Amino acid sequence: MTFSDETRNELARVIPSARCCRIAELNAMYELDGFLLGTNNQYLDFNNSSPVVARKILLLLKGLYPDLPTQVLVVKSRSRRTQMCTVRVLGRDGAGQVYQDFKDQSVLDESGVPRKKCCRRAYLRGAFLSRGSITNPERTYHLEISTEQTLLAEKILAIMASLNLEAGITQRKGSLVTYMKDGQQIVNLLNLMGAHSSLLHFENVRVMKDMRNQINRLVNCETANVDKTVKAAMEQLEDIRLIDEIIGLEELSPKLQEVAKVRLANPYASLQELGELMLPKMSKSGVNYRIRQIREKARELDGLDPES
Ligand SMILES: [Zn+2]
């Protein structure tokens, strides 16, 4: 099961308690994937590819209108790989009543957006259940709700904005897609819709990903430092061997000789560690000063400019 399916199944189990929110959620599913049909508008259909969502639609309808005649139709595609479930409200009176409740001007503002925050959250949940999808966070952060209707895409965007959610709209193959790419924004929306286990899963992946990135950055940084130390030590060893071959280490001053011998015995030690091996102990900068003198001597013997 995809992460999208898991989220949809979780949201299909969330049943809002208030009547206003139940209507708002059904309205979203009707607006995104529903129709008023028949010569006398005697059918009101809700379509959804998920039987779990169809069951929720039926539950919400039965809770709101206990005597409403309904019917559930399932149509499988020829390949039988996909299916479409339709929850149909039967009869002109029933369909008319549901439709009127959807358009109730006392709960909506002039652009059809529910006035109450609880209902706007329910509307987004319904919209996601109808036409939403979310990518597995292991891959990338992406949540979207698609529709063919410009007004609906704008309405979804406006509702999101009213709940402080940042989203965008893009066009794809004749559809308008309201989408989110920011991990935190997706988490906020999952929270507002009530998808708490999906949110936890999403957050866990996000934390793991952040940690992995941090560790990689640290490891890269550490490796670079080690590389630098080893490279410098190799150059110092070359200098010392060169001096030893051409004039012998005995020709160096006793202080330089000591540094050279300790370095030869400890090829991988850092300058600070070399300082601690000296008798008496020496600071890192003291060791560095002597190492530079050794380098100058070697360059001089090699006939090279000591600065290069
Ligand atoms: Zn409400």
Domain chopping of the chain, boundaries? 3-194, 210-302
Instruction: Give the per-residue pLDDT at 167.
Output: 97
Angle at CA of residue 156, ends 151 and 162, nearest 5°: 120
| Alpha carbon of 80 to ligand 1 centroid (Å) | 38
Tens of pLDDT along 46-102?
Answer: 999 999 999 999 999 999 999 999 999 998 888 778 889 999 999 999 999 999 999
pTM given for the model: 0.73
Average pLDDT, rounded, for the chain? 92
| Alpha carbon of 160 to ligand 1 centroid (Å) | 16
Query: Is residue 179 over pLDDT 70?
Result: yes
Q: Residue 306's pLDDT band (boundaries 50, 70, 90)? A: low
Tens of pLDDT along 231-270?
Answer: 888 899 999 999 999 999 999 999 999 999 999 998 888 8
Query: Is residue 11 over pLDDT 60?
Result: yes
Helix axes 117-131, 51-64, angle to 10 degrees: 140
| Alpha carbon of 14 to ligand 1 centroid (Å) | 14
- Please give the CATH superfamily to which domain 3-194 belongs: Homing endonucleases (3.10.28.10)
Distance CA 49, CA 19 (A): 25
Query: Is residue 30 over pLDDT 80?
Result: yes
Do residues 252 and 260 make contact, with C-beta atoms less than 8 angstroms apart?
A: yes
| Alpha carbon of 118 to ligand 1 centroid (Å) | 4
Instruction: Give the per-residue pLDDT at 305.
Output: 56
